[in-house]
Amino acid sequence: MTRVPPMSKPTNLVLLIDDEPKIRRFLRAGFELHGGFTVQEAEDAAEGLQAATFNAPDLIILDLALPDRRGNEVLDLIRSWSNVPIIVLSVEANEEEKVRLLEAGADDYVVKPFGIAELIARSHAALRRYFKSANENPVVVAGPLSIDLVNRTVLLNNVQIKLTRKQYRLLHVLATHLGLVVTHDQLLDDIWSASVRKNIQYLRILVRDLRQIIEPDPNHPRLLITESGVGYRLQARLEDITLA
Amino acid sequence: MPFGSEGKLWKLSWPSPRLAQASVALATSDAPPDNASRWQRQLVMNALPLAMSLLLVGIATIGLLLISPLSPANLAPVVYLIPVMVAAARWGTWPAIVAAIASAAAADFFFYPPFYSFRLDDSQSVINLLVFLLVALISGDLTSRLRREMETLRRREDELQYLYGFSRRLAFCHTVTDLTGAIQDYLSETFGQHIAFFLPASVTASQPVIGCAAPAIIRDTATSMMEPGGAPSRTIKQEAGKGLWLLRSVVSGEATHGVIAVDIGGEPRAAIGERTRRFEAILTEASQTLQRLDIGGAMQEASHRSKDQLLRDAFHGDLSHELRSPLAAIRGSASVLEAMPSIRDENRAFPLVSTITNEAERLDSFIGNLLNATRVSASDLRPHLSCADPRDIVNAAIRRRARQLAAHDVKVGFDDDLPMVNVDSALAEEACGQLLENAAKYSPPGSAISVAVSAEGGHVILSISDSGAGITAEERAQLGRRSFRGARHRDVVPGAGLGFWIASTFVEANNGSIDIVSEGQGRGTTASIILPEARIDEDDAGSADE
């Protein structure tokens, strides 16, 4: 976690919008010490919107409970003119709320309380996706998997594997959001044509089948992770599982 | 407290005779300026029917005089019965008596010889007139009684109509506010706007009164009636001519649900008794209807619900935010320290920082449990059932409880070709996690906890087996009760006893069930969550795979 993946800029500017000084303090320390970021703080929505407008941050960490404005309004406002990656902090662990935020344009969410490692990993994933177009590296590496988005080939431990069209499509969408959660609805929209009735069963079965192929142990997935009630996430490297 | 079929739920009690006396006392104590107009009105109300009766007798007399050639002496008794009957039917007994006497006098004067004199010459005429008077009085009385009966019937029908509408409306009531609103609407339909419904402060603290603005004294009295041991009914008369308030407690069993106050008005005198009677009749009917509908129980439940609601709202809103914000700062700060090389390499500091992290996580999961418990007790589970992979549920549950399970050897086995389940994944995960946590709590560190997932007859079974304390028959009977903890563990194992209760409620919300099997004390426990399989249309499934 302390290693910083290469970015397109030497240091990225992160804007922290949170009204709790103690939270901002540890976020600042974490981002500066472990993420190699330059940090700017804002203590309410007004200040945050101003900083987002004038200072062009590379990443915004947005707390949903702000004193002067609802966090999701701030999200909508920023999204109306900018694609800057936004990660939302919330004490609400409710699935519908998470899906709503993701659909409103948040890149990811982290539920309080959380460890800084988790937030920095999500931040890097969001930045990676944001700078992807500039980077133009068509090969996404996720643990033992490497997915060539241009040639549509997938290598597992350097051996090419065969996937059905829909399995590839699923992997492709997740790979373009590497490390980030993708909602069920987005996956259903991207994989199935509009004429097919959306059915989460299709997705569950497709995921189960894909896991049989790409996961070292399909019963305990470490690459294609379920975010319950929300969607799926493709991990950049095999997730550590201490149990089972 | 027993409710439902056990009867005697609703008793609206009041002492009628005393109340009638109070009404009369009020009427006579009115101030003089009002008296004159009151007397005038009384006079008009009482004198008019009498005058009309006399007028009718006059008309009958004129009619008889016009047909005088046809021996009116024979016709007179029959014709004079008409005004008597009409007066009895329209205005009651007294006008009928007056009409009867006036008819007898007129017949005597005009139609019995000697004419134009009240004298009677022959005994036959005397008998004729006396018989007529008797017949007129009796039939007048019978007619007026019939009229009263009919009036009562009509009123009864109106009241029944009201009650019918009322009971239909009650069928749609789900909260205390609905219920009181229905009772209040119904009564104000009958009594105009002068009605108020007082609720105990504990139910709706901010809104102790619904209905019209009742005078302060009425509010104070109602409040005192709702206190333990308060009088079930009171009558309050306001100053001069302002009105008379009847107050009645609405009680079921031991609990007072509220007080209904009605201003039945100070005048006219006759109307007070009438309105009092009506109010009581209506409330008696209402209380019977309420009893039949078990409103007492419903109100009690609604009152419990609103208390739980307050607790839940407090917890879900501010409290969970207030508790979690400092925890987030603690957990986050510790995580920054934990990752610093200087701390990582320091053998004494690092374990301390890890302790901070672990304990903050433990506090957070405890808060999460309390949140779940308030959701369960507020019956606020709205599961979003959808298709889910049982492996995801088990893996997520294990991951979430990683810290609690760290000291145990967790083994997981999935059957091949497991079907999907139709559940709310978040609830199912939490239930599974609670059972895993219990397994870890009640079995020695280092022992194995095995999770087996299999499919059987349209269900998927998640079995969690430990080799720990086991469950005795007595403990088994008490499982599922909120806050139940086996007596032998109370001093050794920390916890609030909420786990199994939350788990079983969450599983039931998913149309599943939990089965607990234990060989007995010290011989381990197997807890199985049985979840419904998701029905998969094979054609649809095909389109997923292509």
Q: Which CATH number do you get for residue B495? A: 3.30.565.10
| Beta strands A224-227; A231-234: pairing state | antiparallel
Q: Is residue B164 part of a domain?
A: no
On whether any CB of chain B is under 8 Å from the CB of A95, the answer is yes
* Nearest chain B residue to A89, by CA: B328
> Domain boundary residue among A134, A166, A192?
A134
On whether any CB of chain A is under 8 Å from the CB of B393, the answer is yes
Do residues A130 and A144 both lie within one domain? no
Domain at B196, CATH number? 3.30.450
Closest chain B C-alpha to A152 CA, distance in angstroms: 18
> Domain boundary residue among B293, B312, B346?
B293
- Cα dihedral value A171, A172, A178, A181, nearest 10: -70
Between CA A104 and CA A61 the distance in angstroms is 15
The pLDDT of residue A128 is 86
The pLDDT confidence band at residue A129, using thresholds 50, 70 and 90, is: confident
The pLDDT of residue A42 is 95
- Stretch among A152-166, B138-152, B362-376 having the lowest mean pLDDT: B362-376
> Domain boundary residue among B293, B320, B354?
B293
Do residues B279 and B188 both lie within one domain? yes
Between CA A233 and CA B3 the distance in angstroms is 52
Do residues A119 and A72 both lie within one domain? yes
Q: Name the 3-class secondary structure at B14.
A: coil
pLDDT top residue among B498 and B52: B52
* Nearest chain B residue to A25, by CA: B333
In 3D, which of B412, B488, B498 has the Cα closest to residue B453? B412
The pLDDT confidence band at residue A135, using thresholds 50, 70 and 90, is: low
Report the residue of B324, B336, B344, B412 to disrupt the A interface, i.e. the one with the largest count of A CBs within 10 Å: B336
Task: List all residues of chain A from 49 to 68 with a beta carbon under 8 Å from chain B.
Answer: 65
> Domain boundary residue among A80, A102, A134?
A134
Number of domains in chain A: 2
Q: Is residue B26 part of a domain?
A: no
Do residues A150 and A184 both lie within one domain? yes
pLDDT top residue among A147 and B117: A147
Q: Quote the distance between the C-alpha of residue B130 and its chain's center.
A: 63
| DSSP result, B392-441 | HHHHHHHHHTHHHHTTSEEEEEE-TTPPPEEE-HHHHHHHHHHHHHHHHH
Residue B86 is encoded by which pair of tokens?
């009409």
Domain at A151, CATH number? 1.10.10.10
* Nearest chain A residue to B428, by CA: A228
Do residues A57 and A95 both lie within one domain? yes
- Write out the residue range of the structural domain in which residue B62 sits: 31-155
Q: Is residue A242 part of a domain?
A: no
- Indicate the pTM of the whole model: 0.58
Closest chain B C-alpha to A46 CA, distance in angstroms: 21
| Beta strands A86-90; A59-63: pairing state | parallel
Closest chain A C-alpha to B174 CA, distance in angstroms: 27
The pLDDT of residue B451 is 95
Task: List all residues of chain B from 190 to 219 with a beta carbon under 8 Å from chain A.
Answer: none
Do residues B330 and B468 both lie within one domain? no
A166 contacts on B by Cβ (under 8 Å): 544-546
Between CA A21 and CA A15 the distance in angstroms is 14
Nearest to A2 among B339, B429, B546 (CB): B339
Between CA B462 and CA B455 the distance in angstroms is 9
CA atoms within 13 A on the CB side of A65: 14
Do residues A97 and A161 both lie within one domain? no
pLDDT digits (tens, 9 = 90+) for A3-36: 445 444 568 999 999 999 999 999 999 999 888 8
H helix intervals, B92-122: 93-111
The pLDDT of residue B110 is 84
The pLDDT confidence band at residue A132, using thresholds 50, 70 and 90, is: confident
Q: Is residue B275 part of a domain?
A: yes
Q: Find the length of chain B.
A: 546
Do residues A56 and A107 both lie within one domain? yes
pLDDT digits (tens, 9 = 90+) for B381-439: 778 888 999 999 999 999 888 888 989 999 999 998 899 999 988 889 999 999 999 89
Report the residue of A201, A224, A227 to disrupt the B interface, i.e. the one with the largest count of B CBs within 10 Å: A201
Q: Looking at residues A100-123, what average pLDDT do you find? A: 91
Residue B171 is encoded by which pair of tokens?
């069928």
B310 has a pLDDT exceeding 70: no
The residues, ordered by sequence, that sit 6+ positions from B295 with a Cβ below 8 Å of its Cβ are: B9, B10, B170, B173, B179, B252
The pLDDT of residue B392 is 93
On whether any CB of chain B is under 8 Å from the CB of A160, the answer is no
Between CA B110 and CA B65 the distance in angstroms is 8
Residue B292 is encoded by which pair of tokens?
């039949």
pLDDT digits (tens, 9 = 90+) for A141-197: 999 999 998 889 999 999 999 999 999 999 999 999 999 999 999 999 989 887 677
CB contact under 8 A, A166 and B545: yes
The pLDDT of residue B465 is 93
CB contact under 8 A, A166 and B544: yes
pLDDT top residue among A37 and B124: A37
H helix intervals, B260-410: 269-293, 295-314, 320-339, 341-344, 349-377, 390-400, 402-405
CA atoms within 13 A on the CB side of B541: 12
Q: Looking at residues B294-319, what average pLDDT do you find? A: 63
On whether any CB of chain A is under 8 Å from the CB of B362, the answer is no
Report the residue of B325, B361, B425 to disrupt the A interface, i.e. the one with the largest count of A CBs within 10 Å: B325
The pLDDT of residue B127 is 87
CB contact under 8 A, A242 and B402: yes
B368 contacts on A by Cβ (under 8 Å): 93
Do residues B288 and B316 both lie within one domain? no
Between CA A188 and CA A60 the distance in angstroms is 28
pLDDT digits (tens, 9 = 90+) for A199-244: 888 899 999 999 999 999 999 999 999 998 899 999 988 876 543 3
If you search the block for the tokens 């199994």, which residue do you land on?
B500
B16 has a pLDDT exceeding 50: no
CA distances to B207, B279, B364 from B358, rounded to whole Å, are: 45, 66, 10
B426 contacts on A by Cβ (under 8 Å): 95, 228-229
A204 contacts on B by Cβ (under 8 Å): 387-389, 420
Tell me the ipTM for this assembly. 0.83
Nearest to B332 among A23, A93, A206 (CB): A23
B373 has a pLDDT exceeding 80: no
Q: Is residue B189 part of a domain?
A: yes
Domain at A89, CATH number? 3.40.50.2300
Which helix (H) or strand (E) segment is B499 a member of? helix B499-509
B540 has a pLDDT exceeding 50: no
CA atoms within 13 A on the CB side of B166: 29
pLDDT digits (tens, 9 = 90+) for B427-472: 899 999 999 998 998 889 999 999 999 999 899 999 999 988 777 7
The pLDDT confidence band at residue B50, using thresholds 50, 70 and 90, is: confident
> Domain boundary residue among B97, B126, B155?
B155
Between CA B78 and CA B525 the distance in angstroms is 99
CB contact under 8 A, B546 and A165: yes
Q: What is the DSSP letter of B115?
A: T
> Domain boundary residue among A134, A152, A174?
A134
pLDDT digits (tens, 9 = 90+) for B486-517: 666 665 565 556 788 888 888 988 889 998 88
Do residues A71 and A117 both lie within one domain? yes
Q: Is residue A6 part of a domain?
A: no
CB contact under 8 A, A113 and B426: no
The pLDDT confidence band at residue B519, using thresholds 50, 70 and 90, is: confident
A52 has a pLDDT exceeding 60: yes
Nearest to A204 among B329, B331, B388 (CB): B388
- Write out the residue range of the structural domain in which residue A230 sits: 137-234
CB contact under 8 A, A226 and B384: no
Do residues A194 and A214 both lie within one domain? yes
B7 has a pLDDT exceeding 70: no
